[in-house]
Structure 1
Amino acid sequence: MRLPERLARINRYVTNPIQRLWAGRLPGFGIVEHTGRRSGKPYRTPVNVYAAPGGFAVMLMYGPERDWLRNLAASGGGKLVHRGRTYAVTNPSVVPASEALEFLGKGPAALLRQLHVEYVLRLTSA
C-alpha cells in the first residue's frame, strides 16, 4: 500500500528536515545522498533502509516514482548513511516486495508484509 502523495509533500518540507538530524544513525533508517539530475544540486533524503546481502534494501513507502530515486538511477548510484557510516552504493534496482522477501532478514520482511509495501529498492554496496 502506497502512502498518499499529500503525505509525501508534507514529509518533503516538514518531516524530512527533522529526520535528517538522526536518520543516518538509527537502525531501520538511513539517508540517501544523491545529486539532482538536472540541477546538479546535492540532496539528502531520509529513508527506511535495511542491510541485505551485498548491500541494502530501501522500502519504497511512496512507490518507485520518486525524484530521489530517479536521481540515483540517472547517476548509477550515490551514497547511503546508515548507522553512522557512509557507504558508496551502486546499481539501484526496484524489485517487487515478493522478491525482496527472499533477501531481507526476518524483522524487515515482517515489516514489509505488515505495511503492505509494494516495491523495494535494492542497492549494491560498492
Structure 2
Amino acid sequence: MALPRWLARFNKRFVNPREVRRGVRPVLTHVGRSSGRTYQTPLDAHPLPDGYLFLPLYGPRTDWVRNVLAAGTARLSVDGEQVQLDSPRLVRKQEVWSLVPAGTKAPPGLSDESELLRMSLRRD
C-alpha cells in the first residue's frame, strides 16, 4: 500500500532538501521528463549483485520513478561515491527480494506484489 500523496508533496518540498544537504542517505540524481531539470531524491538504495533496488513508498507512479523510467539512466551517490545506473525497470517484490542483502527489512505495507524500481550498474 502506497503512502498518501500529501505526504509525498510535503517530503518533496521540506524533508528531501534537508536530507540531501545532510549527505547521510543515498541520493538519486535524475532528469525531469518534461522540464529537463536535474533533481536529487534521497532514497533507500538496496545493493544487488548487478545494481540497486529502490522502493517507491508512494507508489510506482511518483515523479522520480517516472523520470528515471523516461530517461533510462540516473546517478546514485552512495557512501561518498557516484555510481552510474541504467536499464530501469519495475519489478515485483517477490521477483527480486531474495537478492537483497539478508536482514533487510521491508517497510510496512510493502507486499509481494508491490512494484519496485530495479536499475543496473552502467557498464562502460
The TM-score, its normalising length taken from structure 1, stands at: 0.87
Q: Which residue of 2 aligns with 1:74?
A: 70
Q: Which residue of 2 aligns with 1:122?
A: 118
* Aligned residues of 2:29 and 2:41 also touching (Cα < 8 A): yes
Q: Which residue of 1 aligns with 2:7?
A: 7
Deviations, residues 63-98 of structure 1 (Å, cap 9, x unaligned): 100111111111111101111111100011111111
Deviation at 1:46, TM superposition (A): 0.9
Among residues 89, 94, 100, which one is paired with 2:90 in the alignment?
Answer: 94
Aligned Cα root-mean-square deviation (Å): 1.4
Among residues 69, 81, 85, which one is paired with 1:85 in the alignment?
Answer: 81
SS at the partner of 1:20?
A: helix
Distance in 2 of aligned mates of 1:86 and 1:5: 30
Q: What code does the residue aligned with 1:52 have? A: L
Report percent identity of matched pairs.
30
Q: Which residue of 1 aligns with 2:16?
A: 16
Among residues 58, 61, 66, which one is paired with 1:65 in the alignment?
Answer: 61
The TM-score, its normalising length taken from structure 2, stands at: 0.88
SS at the partner of 2:98?
A: coil
Q: What code does the residue aligned with 1:98 have? A: Q
Q: Which residue of 1 aligns with 2:30?
A: 34
Deviation at 1:16, TM superposition (A): 0.5
Distance in 1 of aligned mates of 2:115 and 2:103: 17
Structure 2: runs of 5 or more not aligned: none
Q: Aligned residue pairs: how many?
A: 119
Deviation at 1:115, TM superposition (A): 2.0
Deviation at 1:43, TM superposition (A): 0.7
Structure 1: runs of 5 or more not aligned: none
Q: Where has structure 1 moved over 6 Å in runs of 4 or more?
A: none
